[in-house]
A = this chain, B = another copy of it.
Amino acid sequence: MVAPLKVGIAGLGTVGAEVVRLIETQARVLAGRSGRGIRVVAVTARSKSKKRGIDLRGVEWAKDPMALATHPEVDCFVELMGGAGDPALSAVDAALGAGKSVVTANKALLAKHGLKLAKAAEKHGGALNFEAAVGAAIPVIKTLREGLAGTGINRVYGILNGTCNYILTRMEQEGLSFTECLKDAQRLGYAEADPSFDVDGHDTAQKLAILASLAFGTKVAQSAVYVEGISSIAPEDLRAAADLGYRVKLLGVAVRTAKGIEQRVHPTMVPKSSSIAQVMGVTNAVTIDGEGIPPITLVGPGAGGAATASAVVADIADVARGIRANPFGRPIGQLRDTKKAPMERHEGGYYIRLLARDFPGTAAAIATRLAEQKISIESIVQRHPNGGAAPADGKAVPVPVILITYATHEDAVRRALAAVQKDKVISGRPQVIRIEKN
């Protein structure tokens, strides 16, 4: 009979409490699956007195995360405090340094310090598991780390932030503005009081950095990710996208190109028929393009106490079974430096929405500027405000013009639009959304 795995949990919010509950209620199944028992021996959290609806009798209360991480009785340190810095960073580092295994749901910590922590895990022999850090119970880490172990990956992309997808879904379905939908998301608890981490794309960027490392064997580096958020997206963009057979999603995309691994987060037009376009509301999804095989898409809840706890417990069960995978799939020595592929060299189709001051004269001017940059136009649509009726005062009203380009380079688009703005033939700033093909 193998001794049970002794677990210490730092952080007893919704996820932590649910982990404690699952380990108790699923004890028999977990023991059967792991070949040994799993027991919570010690915990710590900010407040000892808070009501959590779990039974902590017989469980030691450690005085702080560091004491728990280095507790001689703990085999597996479970970090559910969050945050890229201390106390999470020091505690995880100390646990790994002591040869313990670590399970964490902390994407920020991994995106910023993943390489250093993986080195510590490799050196001292502990596991570093983090299935819950990306897509909660969606098994995307396991799939990239183990399920596609022998398959080259060309691209991995997905909807990694439920808040943004909820907002874009409601904007599309109800024609509402970004601000209105954000307010609703905040009211429903889908968005934080300060929503910038989500809506500006940083949450997605952290998760993407982790997926990119697993997919391509690069050293995880949040700084290598180009980031744009969704706050500039207008209902008219979503309407135009729909008319053209697309939906707009905030995607994280990591893709192998001739210039290196591109990692980017931005609003993206995806074909309405694609699996990723069907994903609505707070649901997350990740698509993996493996060499020579059709895409694999994993869809499910990207957050929530029960879904996150499910992934954490599965990671603990893997530790109990003695599985020691390389945290990022490959040994540290095989991970390559992450060269940030410059966004200016990004190649793809573009959606461009402009307000033309004087159509059709302006259309010719715009077409000329695009032609100068060798950008081919797939379609151009002029959208009459007021159904095309002349304004009562006879003054020229800016006319929205929507262009779809064939594949071109980001810098060509930027140069062309700068020239158009200089020409003073448009009002305001052009809206640009990148197109991602299946």
Contact = CB atoms under 8 A, between A and B. Distances in A.
A313 B139 contact: no
A240 interface: no
Interface string A27-43: 01110111100000000
Query: Which one of A217, A299, A325, A329 has the greatest number of beta carbons of chain B within 10 Å?
Result: A299
Nearest to A151: B310
A390 interface: no
Interface residues of A, number: 59
Interface string A233-253: 000000000000000000000
Contact of A296 (B145, B275, B296, B298): B298
A interface: dominant SS:
mixed
A143 interface: yes
Copies in the complex: 2
Contacts of A278: 275, 278
Given A290-B137, A304-B294, A306-B292, A150 B29 contact: yes
Interface in A1-46: 22-23, 26, 28-30, 32-35
A371 interface: no
29 contacts: A22-B151, A26-B150, A32-B326, A32-B329, A32-B331, A33-B149, A33-B329, A35-B331, A137-B148, A138-B296, A139-B139, A139-B142, A142-B143, A142-B146, A142-B147, A149-B317, A150-B317, A151-B314, A275-B278, A278-B278, A283-B294, A291-B306, A296-B298, A296-B301, A297-B299, A297-B300, A298-B298, A299-B299, A321-B325
